[in-house]
Amino acid sequence: MEENVANQIDRSTQIGLISYCGFYCGACPKYIKGDCQGCKGESHKCAIGYKACKVRPCCIEKGINSCADCDEYTSIKDCKIYNPLMIRFGQFITRTNRRKGIEMIKEKGESEFAKYMIDKNWVTIKLGKQ
């Protein structure tokens, strides 16, 4: 693997780059280029431009780091905010699964999730490539 985000940012920053929905912003090309600061910031260079995102405001309202911390549902699959039809369709087309990221955070913690995503250089879990 080329010298990438793992060598550029410290562990607390790595964990801070986990999005509310289970993406890893630190591997995103826009983040790496400096065009975005991830979804948790407040500046004009943050992914908050995605006004259609319903997950971010929900997590902020609940005061949680990500959907992995939510205790409203037994499974993230049951959350209508997290699983709208267009997101599921997009993941089907791209062969990705952000839910797997949330499940990994719940099971192994944010630090292990960030390490895994950095090692893979992935923004989201890619199906069939574990």
Query: What are the angstrom distances between the C-alpha of 5 and each of 8, 33, 98, 113, 117?
Result: 5, 11, 20, 14, 10
- Residue 108 predicted with pLDDT over 90: yes
pLDDT at 59: 93
- Residue 125 predicted with pLDDT over 70: yes
Q: Give the pLDDT confidence of 84-105 residue by residue, as tens digits.
A: 777 777 778 888 888 899 999 9
pLDDT bin (cut points 50, 70, 90) of residue 2 is: very low
Residue carrying structure tokens 């990705």: 96
Q: Give the pLDDT confidence of 16-40 residue by residue, as tens digits.
A: 889 999 999 889 888 888 888 888 8
pLDDT at 64: 95
Burial of 94 (0-12, 13-18, 19+ CB in 10 A): exposed
